Structure 1
């Protein structure tokens, strides 16, 4: 909070599945409005959603309903027939999961994540992506949310259910994540008391970014959760309770061009942590998990800044973790 631009922050620590600490700072609304945010409040987890979407896709691989080497044009023939994805006959399910398809991101000026009165269909997002130049070759890492819009479409095609239903049945309900859900309506916001984030428009005016358009996020970044629930997911994932190791590595092992995560995390390996994070206009969220899954540090930060400034929040979350788990390192 003292660093500025932060409206509110909450965090919880879990050890062996039990909450060992909690914290809250700031307020629900800008300039101290709305009172404090309880550490149990729901918040957007952003791109931590991708790990969940990939897990569902890999569970379908495990059950034989999908193959990692299936071509996009085979599982979603309509995207090839309508020319919504370039080289759809070369891109595999594995490429989508590992962000190595070379498909451009759909976040263009014509797609407004803050415009919650417009309902975007997945094909609208693909059409926006198709207008952009391919940023990389197939097989090379390039971060693009479009991959996970496509994975959500594949999951729905293979199962006959919505992605929201599959996430609930395969992950949320089995793990007791009762407060977690995937909103699918454009103006569907966060249920219950929660922090509001703010983003600057082109004139520099701060806009309440609370009602992010859910139809622009979906399986790429749309899940709303709590510190308790996201900790339960990351713990189960790390401990191999959702996927066998061979499939878990499809998500966790880096691919060519992907930067390697820093070894050991903010505490220099004493203890070690593996970070998972996500952000969008108005917020940043992260969950750090020890390699054995015993420890989780889950944080949500609502901010009032532009996108360029938002990158500094990750460092501040690292410092918060260090102050809890390795204060000597934080002081140094």
Structure 2
């Protein structure tokens, strides 16, 4: 198996005593960007019949300068307000955390971005779980160019199954029933299967769970004390929080608070807060969680993601950027919820918002409403 081939990474594998990104002394008022009222923006957002509740907060140089909560915890104006400090599912924002761990393993010489899936996880060949595994690289899985089909579809899993635990390899196996539509490395094609496999690679190389690696390399160093990746079924959200809803085939809304933990893992399972998620994205933007060299290696050859209307993607796209491209969100979402973190180009400002819904999360009317709220906060009109 090849080892780290990224120039300049070998000397970077030092112990992470702390990665806490301390906020500097209070930023002078004149130096702060002009921001809108978070509570007002979220209250407008929650007027939508498709939104049950929303919480959010905006941060400048690591300090919270505004927050809000609108709507209610439960459907039909029940349950009271969601605490602004409540935990929520971050969905595919988890993928960026998985990328961080993978890059640290590259730096430590435990794998290379051009290592083949078949070498790292021989079981996928032995059990014929992934077609052309001997051609697919780690880099292709990170960038969703592997061509491995996505298991997270209504055709392959039951969204309404809250009680059955599916090991990651079982979900990978389901993707094998779908015909490949591209060559390895040919183009971007979003697939959660990539990140189930990356999670298994992390566990095989470290002898730790993905949850433990997240804690050791990200959550503990950044003091993300309210963040966790569930490891015990059913793995719900701790503390009072908003409930998301999703319609069945007849349009009846069902409470999806018990979202099946199996469907998360290294692809989308982390639960966090606005404070913690802001700390993570600020550290990432300022090269505190990955070095500049590691990020350059990670992003080398990253393709522009194609529109993916069926589910939220982890990454930035032109139509989702706000304020003339000054802010681009990292987004996660699934049945019942959407969570976005907007970060300024210079890394100084983060706006974190969690939305719980009373509609299909793919409803095309929802994203523009959230974008409008973000622009009201990050680039308010004079």
TM-score, normalised by the number of residues in structure 2: 0.82
| Aligned equivalent of 2:335 | 281
1:200 aligns with 2:247: yes
User: How far is 1:138 from its partner?
Assistant: 1.2
Show the 5 A alignment for 1:142-153: 142-153=189-200
* C-alpha distance in 2 between matches for 1:250 and 1:220: 21
| Aligned equivalent of 2:65 | 20
| Aligned equivalent of 1:177 | 224
* C-alpha distance in 2 between matches for 1:132 and 1:186: 28
Contact 2:50 2:366 in 1 (8 A): no
SS at match of 1:31: coil
* C-alpha distance in 2 between matches for 1:220 and 1:253: 21
| Residues 256 and 17 of structure 1, relative CA distance in 2, 3 Å threshold | closer
Higher mean displacement: 101-110 or 29-38: 101-110
List runs of 5+ in structure 1 lacking aligned partners.
Answer: none
Contact 2:322 2:328 in 1 (8 A): no
1:158 aligns with 2:212: no
User: How far is 1:251 from its partner?
Assistant: 4.7
* C-alpha distance in 2 between matches for 1:95 and 1:249: 15
User: How far is 1:95 from its partner?
Assistant: 0.7
TM-score, normalised by the number of residues in structure 1: 0.94
| Residues 236 and 315 of structure 1, relative CA distance in 2, 3 Å threshold | same
User: How far is 1:253 from its partner?
Assistant: 5.7
Show the 5 A alignment for 1:238-249: 238-249=285-296
* C-alpha distance in 2 between matches for 1:153 and 1:242: 22
Show the 5 A alignment for 1:62-211: 62-108=107-153, 109-139=155-185, 140-211=187-258
Contact 1:235 1:289 in 2 (8 A): yes
| Aligned equivalent of 2:371 | 318
* C-alpha distance in 1 between matches for 2:244 and 2:94: 19
Higher mean displacement: 133-142 or 277-286: 133-142
Higher mean displacement: 300-309 or 211-220: 300-309
User: How far is 1:246 from its partner?
Assistant: 3.2
List runs of 5+ in structure 2 lacking aligned partners.
Answer: 1-45, 307-315
Contact 1:51 1:251 in 2 (8 A): no
Higher mean displacement: 108-117 or 208-217: 108-117
1:226 aligns with 2:279: no
| Aligned equivalent of 2:48 | 3
1:31 aligns with 2:45: no
Q: What value does the CA root-mean-square deviation take over the aligned residues? A: 1.7
